[in-house]
Structure 1
Amino acid sequence: MPSHDLDHAIHETCDVHEHAASLALWDQRYEQISGGRFEGRIEDLRIGPVQLFREQTSRAVVQQGLPRPGTLTLAIALASGGDDRICGRSLRPDGGYAVIADGEFELVTHGAFDVLALDIDRQALAAHASQVSGATVTGDDLQVQGPRGLHGHDPHQVELRTLLLDTLRTARESPGLLQHMAMRRALVQTACDALLARIRLPMPTQEAHATAASRERVVREARAWMRAHAHEPIDVPMLCDALGVSRRTLQYSFEAVLQLSPVTYLRALRLNGVRRELMRGSVEPVADCAARWGFWHLSRFAAEYRALFGEKPSETAARARTALH
């Protein structure tokens, strides 16, 4: 993955043209087509190759322009004032989404409108896709059906919306957590996975020829590498790089041998890493410790920690600090 430089900004405007110019790296033209005072808000988060933003507009608008160059964009409506259309097709809050290539697009809204957009550098996404699939994926392989993109219904949209909104909330309310590289890396990987889930990837031919012995070897080597690096905030791409296997191969091997996904196994490993640090009685905030181990969704982290260890992380930390005094 390329650099994970971070930038977060919020822009509030009362003019549609000022609003159009406030989204960094996009080339847009807006025309207000319903009467009344315009109010707009953009919250923009950029982490390396990923840009995530939420855009809110109060009046009917025609938007035309170009996304960030060299990217693919996933758009999800949160609220709508009518039959809003992107590239001529409906974009509704009840399950619709659009994937837009880096060609020109048009969005027509009919009142108050609220949208989440996730755009990712095509080359970074291709590198991530190669690691996921085990096949060589190039930026050209990630083409969608022309600049108008793909449109569809997503049964997991509620989960995805929550994930993206929580990411923005973390940047807004707990910006210090994003200073941890493990946190930023986890966010970039999660964003790539979200977009790749809506693009068909090639199946590697070598996976069809995997044997029970080869899968056992993958799991054995993976667990040995994890033990040797237990003090580090390990993630799945890091593990795949170390073993020289694709994420798909790693997934199939763990499911066949342990009846667990590598993500589940790694989550338990990382939770144990946090617990070891908390039990040392450090005065470091629990949130910072969790972020260093790649847990950026703090309420989910606390629930997973309690489910695994039978107590809240704050209880572990308090008991350890008491024992030291």
Structure 2
Amino acid sequence: MQSPPLPTTALRVIEARDADEHAGNLTNWEQCYDQTTPGTFHGLLEEMQLPDMQVFRESTSQGMRQTCCVWPDALWFGLPYSAQATRINGRTATPDSVLVRPGHCEFELVTPADYTIFGVVVRQDALRDAAQRMGFELDWERLSRAEVVQASPAARRQCLHTLHALLAGDAVSATDPQHLALDALLPLLDTGVVDSAVRDSLARRQRIVAKARDYLLAHHDQTITVPDLCQRLFVSRRTLQYCFEDVLGMTPVQYLRILRLNGARRDLLRKPDSAVRDVAADWSFWHFSQFASDYRKLFGHSPSEARQHGPH
């Protein structure tokens, strides 16, 4: 994925009724969303493209496990607006946190229902120029490895206020919007303490969860149980439980069910000629009535209605 050219100021607002449709609406990102809480999905994206930046506000009605990757030669900064906790690569962010990830580097977010986050993606050379212009000194090596910045609450509130005004169009006519966004962002990085340390124990749990996910996806047409995973990953049931609860905030059984249901949902949309029962069986749902019930509970509609609710 090459660093894309960004147009001059352009604001767009787009809604979605499907998690994957919503994931694909964010310009120049590679994303995959799994819905984790029950109910119909509604996503709202408000996005502004600037010459060297992307500013957006994303709202999702249901809990999500997100795999994300932004364009190269850039840095992404996420400012959760919801009081509920956000997990980034298994770490729980505090209410005053600023999330940070470099471009061309896949990361994971786990977010709750009724969630809103503001995001800023900026080319690294533009951020350097702005820092030099404003007299800020940034630790670039640590920043590029960070996942969380603990910022000044006052600076964070001011940044959120500025981003909100930009997306509402309140500040665009009288001021250069890119300078305005950079001027609000840089104080967070200058006064914050970059926390790039990931405990060895957490890193190990992240690896175990990632291996479990890869194995489940590779064998989605087979009935995989928790003991099967334990045997495959050479861990005890208690260890596996701790890993999933620490990294994803859910049990292995809950995650296995959610993963399979989201996989079936995608195939129902991508394979319109396939029978619903065949899709269910391909994701190891052998009792169709139970599959239909679980599907409706998670997504708010039946499997047979999925194609009506999906992307058009």
Coarse TM-score class (shorter-chain normalised): 0.5 to 0.7
Structure 2: distance between partners of 1:147 and 1:21: 26
Indicate whether 1:40 and 2:40 are aligned. Answer: no
After superposing the two structures, state which structure 1 stretch, 2-11 or 154-163, moved more. 2-11
1:154 maps to 152
1:24 maps to 27
2:96 maps to 95
Structure 2: distance between partners of 1:200 and 1:97: 12
Partner SS, residue 29 of structure 1 = strand
- Of the candidates 73, 77, 80, which is equivalent to residue 76 of structure 2? 73
2:110 maps to 108
TM-score by length of 2: 0.53
Q: How far 1:147 moved relative to its partner?
A: 4.8
- The gaps in structure 1 that reach 5 residues or longer are 202-325
Give the superposed CA RMSD: 2.7
1:169 maps to 168
Structure 2: distance between partners of 1:130 and 1:194: 15
Partner SS, residue 79 of structure 1 = coil
Query: CA distance change for structure 1 residues 144 and 45 in 2, over 3 Å: closer, same or farther?
Result: farther
Structure 1: distance between partners of 2:123 and 2:184: 14
Q: How far 1:15 moved relative to its partner?
A: 0.2
Partner SS, residue 37 of structure 2 = coil
Query: CA distance change for structure 1 residues 124 and 71 in 2, over 3 Å: closer, same or farther?
Result: same
Partner SS, residue 72 of structure 1 = strand
**Conserved? CA contact 2:46–2:57, under 8 Å:** yes
**Conserved? CA contact 2:151–2:189, under 8 Å:** no
Alignment of 1:200-239 (within 5 A): 200=190
Q: How far 1:13 moved relative to its partner?
A: 0.5
Q: How far 1:151 moved relative to its partner?
A: 2.6
- Of the candidates 159, 181, 192, which is equivalent to residue 182 of structure 2? 192
**1:101-148 Cα deviation digits (max 9, x unpaired):** 22221100122211001111111111222333398x9xxx63445555
- How many aligned residue pairs are there? 185
Q: How far 1:88 moved relative to its partner?
A: 2.3
Identity %: 26
**Conserved? CA contact 1:97–1:153, under 8 Å:** yes
Structure 2: distance between partners of 1:117 and 1:20: 14
Amino acid across the alignment from 1:188: Q
TM-score by length of 1: 0.51
Structure 2: distance between partners of 1:98 and 1:154: 14
Query: CA distance change for structure 1 residues 84 and 150 in 2, over 3 Å: closer, same or farther?
Result: closer
Spell out structure 1 runs of 4+ moving beyond 6 A: none
Indicate whether 1:118 and 2:120 are aligned. Answer: yes
**1:76-96 Cα deviation digits (max 9, x unpaired):** 11114x43212222235x322
Higher relative contact order (CA 8 A, sep 6+): 2
Q: How far 1:150 moved relative to its partner?
A: 3.0
Structure 1: distance between partners of 2:53 and 2:143: 22
Structure 2: distance between partners of 1:144 and 1:134: 15
Indicate whether 1:52 and 2:55 are aligned. Answer: yes
Structure 2: distance between partners of 1:167 and 1:152: 24
1:271 maps to none
Amino acid across the alignment from 2:167: L
**Conserved? CA contact 1:105–1:148, under 8 Å:** no
Query: CA distance change for structure 1 residues 144 and 28 in 2, over 3 Å: closer, same or farther?
Result: farther
Query: CA distance change for structure 1 residues 142 and 189 in 2, over 3 Å: closer, same or farther?
Result: farther
Structure 1: distance between partners of 2:82 and 2:63: 13
2:129 maps to 127
Partner SS, residue 37 of structure 1 = coil
Structure 2: distance between partners of 1:40 and 1:129: 34
Amino acid across the alignment from 1:78: Y
Amino acid across the alignment from 1:192: L
**Conserved? CA contact 2:162–2:180, under 8 Å:** no
